[in-house]
């Protein structure tokens, strides 16, 4: 689940900056649930976008979006993860002192996450916009 949270936060920050043209897994109103492959199946609040993830051989996750776009992640030397898409690296992360992650985006801007009182994560993008995620009854998370 940790890798999944990192991937969602990296995608959130990337989408906020319009750095990539893939759907953002941690937007307000999105909902996810575990799948049979050990990953998650997610759907946007408007039902127009969906994505599915599964573990990969690198120790990260492969994610496929409804438009056919794919991303892959793998651990990095900082204890975080690097996420790559068809256009190259989307984000890089490392643990922070708040128990979350700090993310570096290709354009040099940053985003961060930290645990919240709901048992989920709060993701703060480069513009200061925060998305709060909490566990749902399916074992995934809902964000708003």
* Statement: the pTM of the whole predicted model exceeds 0.85: no
Residue 14 confidence (pLDDT) above 60: no
SS3 annotation, the chain: CHHHHHHHHHHHHHHHCCCCCCCCCCCCCCEEEECCCCCEEEECCCCCCEEEEEECCCCCEEEEECCCCEEEEEECCCCCEEEEECCEEEEEEEECCCCCEEEECCCCCEEEEEECCCCCEEEECCCCCEEEEEECCCCCEEEC
**Candidate from 13-22, 28-37, 86-95, 126-135 with smallest mean pLDDT:** 13-22
pLDDT of 18 strictly over 60 = no
Query: Per-residue confidence at 144, pLDDT binned at 50, 70, 90?
Result: confident
By the 10 Å C-beta count (0-12 exposed, 13-18 middle, 19+ buried), 99 is classed as exposed
- The pLDDT assigned to 20 comes to 29
pLDDT of residue 121: 93
The string of pLDDT tens digits covering residues 113-141 is 999 999 999 999 988 899 999 999 998 88
Give me the residue spans of the domains in the chain: 2-143
Query: pLDDT, tens digit, for every residue of 45-103?
Result: 888 899 999 999 999 999 999 999 999 999 999 999 999 998 888 889 999 999 999 99
Quote the pLDDT of residue 55.
97
């Amino acid at each position: 689940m940790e890798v999944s949270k990192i991937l969602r936060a990296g995608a959130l920050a990337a989408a906020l900056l319009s750095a990539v043209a893939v759907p953002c897994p941690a937007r307000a109103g999105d909902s996810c649930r575990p799948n049979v492959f050990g990953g998650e199946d997610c759907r946007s609040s408007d039902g127009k976008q969906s994505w599915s993830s599964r573990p990969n051989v690198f120790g990260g996750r492969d994610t496929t979006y409804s438009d056919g776009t794919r991303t892959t992640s793998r651990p990095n030397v900082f204890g975080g993860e690097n996420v790559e898409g068809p256009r190259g690296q989307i984000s890089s992360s490392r643990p922070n002192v708040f128990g979350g992650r700090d993310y570096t985006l290709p354009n040099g801007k940053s985003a961060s996450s930290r645990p919240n009182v709901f048992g989920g994560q709060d993701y703060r993008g480069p513009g200061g916009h925060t998305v709060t995620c909490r566990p749902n009854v399916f074992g995934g998370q809902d964000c708003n």
